């Protein structure tokens, strides 16, 4: 590491161990009181003459914002695996390197996906509300019944690291697993899942569908009214990937009509202020974009980001570089 500590700024407070390392190994302004938006980060980068900007999905860097990044910035380190908030080609074209945090959050995101699957199928949101209101009466044997998970067919869209980790877990629940991916995986990576080259052919077989693909900025949603229509009546949608993958109006229609039994959602089109009509549905199980939100994983993500900053400051290759 050069004698002067690398100068970095971060858009959010990071877990304690990561903040401690920032304090000792880097030059950084005090922890922000609240998450900083893009304009605040650009101003701070200039003021601090930052070498690296640590951001997450709430701090997009695209278009004019990329052009406005001061020349001192040599690295944009996103503390996420997703890259849809960044214009990577534009950043690289400006000579700003980019890194993300793959692998370290795979298991955590897959765990949350299982939670969404179980909670949506077993009506956890309604049961929780009932209990918070005191319960107070014996339920009929046919009242508020959920959908059994074991024995059901799970369709996975996007069989990258997280999709594979979900398939592994689903096997433990005795689920039959199907997957759709741009290309068929090596059989050793398939986790016993059956490949469908064509998503539309897979959907009619899925009792539960879970999305694990990145969102391409500007691309239309994958899950449209037509796609929901191809799922069997009484199926469940789970999304812990990106809100942009789902047409939320079509999702609401499918839920209200009973075509979908339920949904488990961690991500939304408009974060952190999701569509009020979605929030109002008592049955959906919802979490606030927390796929990686454990002490262990967020610490690992922060540390990996700092490893990248330290590497570049020492003129070494990035640990987890993002290429165009
Ligand atoms: C990720 O790492 O991409 C998570 O969704 C947080 O944005």
Same domain assignment for residues 236 and 282? yes
Q: State yes or no: is 57 an active-site residue.
A: no
Beta carbon of 297 within 6 Å of any ligand 1 atom:
no
Tell me, yes or no, whether 64 and 171 share the same domain.
no
Shared domain for 193 and 254, answered yes or no, is: yes
d(C-alpha 43, C-alpha 70), whole Å: 9
Alpha carbon 89 to its chain centroid, in Å, reads: 21
Per-10-residue mean pLDDT, the chain, length 324? 83 98 98 95 98 97 97 98 97 98 98 98 98 97 98 98 98 98 96 97 98 94 98 98 98 98 98 97 97 98 98 98 92
Q: What is the dihedral of CA 45, 85, 17, 24, to 10 degrees?
A: -20
Q: Cβ neighbours of residue 21 under 8 Å, at least 6 residues apart?
A: 303, 306
Res 283: pLDDT: 96
Judge whether 173 and 120 are in contact, CB under 8 Å.
no
- Order of strands across the sheet that contains 52-55: 8-10, 52-55, 75-78, 97-99
Going by CA atoms, what residue is nearest to atom 1 of ligand 1?
Answer: 80
Active-site annotation holder among 57, 242, 248, 298: 242
Residue entry with tokens 């951001």: 55
Task: Give the DSSP H/E element, type plus range, for residue 131.
Answer: helix 124-132
Count of structural domains, the chain: 2
173 and 217: one domain? Answer: yes
Atom 4, ligand 1: which residue's CA is nearest? 80
pTM over 0.80: yes
Known active-site residue 233: no
Does residue 82 line the site of ligand 1, with CB under 6 A? yes
Distances (CA, A) of 83 to 22, 89, 173: 23, 11, 31
Same-domain check for residues 281 and 302: no
Q: How far is the CA of 294 from the centre of ligand 1 (A)?
A: 13
pLDDT of residue 324: 78
CA distance 284 to 240: 14
- Regarding whether 179 and 256 lie in a shared domain, the answer is yes
DSSP for 168-229 reads HHHHHTT-EEEEE-SSPPPGGGSTTPEEES-HHHHGGG-SEEEE--PPPTTPPPSB-HHHHH
In a 3-state reduction of DSSP, which class is residue 269?
coil
The reply to whether 124 and 185 lie within a common domain is yes
ipTM > 0.95, yes or no = no
Residues 149 and 207: their CA atoms lie apart, in Å, by: 9
Q: Which domain holds residue 155?
A: 106-286
Residues 98 and 152 in one domain: no
pLDDT in tens, 56-109: 999 999 999 999 999 999 999 999 999 999 999 999 999 999 999 999 999 999
CA of 137 from ligand 1 middle (Å) equals 41
Alpha carbons 258 and 283: distance in angstroms, whole number: 11
Same domain, 167 and 224: yes
Examine residue 323 and state whether it is found in any structural domain, yes or no.
Answer: no
Spatial contact of 245 and 117, defined as CB atoms under 8 Å apart: no
CATH number of the domain at 81, please.
3.40.50.720
281 DSSP assignment: -
pLDDT for res 1:
47
């Amino acid at each position: 590491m050069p004698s002067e500590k690398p100068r970095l700024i971060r858009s959010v407070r990071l877990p304690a161990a990561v903040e401690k390392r920032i304090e000792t190994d880097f030059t950084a302004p005090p922890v922000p009181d609240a998450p900083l938006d893009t304009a605040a980060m650009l101003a701070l980068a200039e003021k601090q003459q930052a070498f690296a900007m640590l951001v997450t999905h709430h701090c997009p860097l695209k278009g004019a914002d990329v052009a406005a990044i001061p020349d001192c910035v040599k690295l944009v380190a996103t503390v996420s695996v997703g890259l849809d908030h960044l214009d990577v080609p534009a950043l690289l074209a400006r000579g700003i390197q980019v890194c993300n945090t793959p692998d370290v959050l795979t298991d955590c995101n897959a765990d949350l996906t299982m939670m969404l699957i179980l909670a949506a199928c077993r009506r956890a949101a309604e049961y929780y509300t009932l209990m918070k209101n005191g319960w107070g009466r014996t339920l009929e044997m046919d009242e508020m019944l959920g959908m059994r998970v074991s024995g059901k067919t799970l369709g996975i869209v996007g069989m990258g690291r997280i999709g594979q980790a979900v398939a592994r877990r689903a096997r433990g629940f005795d689920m039959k697993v199907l997957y759709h991916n741009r290309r068929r995986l090596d059989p050793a990576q398939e986790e016993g899942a059956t490949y469908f080259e064509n998503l539309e052919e897979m959907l009619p077989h899925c009792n539960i569908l879970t999305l694990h693909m990145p969102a391409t900025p500007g691309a239309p949603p994958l899950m449209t009214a037509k796609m929901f229509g191809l799922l069997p009546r009484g199926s469940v949608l789970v999304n812990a990937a990106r809100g942009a993958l789902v047409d939320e109006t079509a999702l609401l229609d499918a839920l209200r009509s009973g075509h979908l039994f339920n949904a488990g959602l961690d991500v939304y089109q408009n974060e952190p202020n999701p569509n009020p009509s979605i929030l109002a549905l008592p049955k959906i199980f919802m979490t606030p974009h927390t796929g990686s939100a454990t002490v262990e994983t967020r610490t690992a993500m922060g540390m990996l980001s700092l490893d990248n900053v330290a590497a570049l400051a020492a003129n070494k290759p990035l640990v987890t570089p993002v290429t165009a």
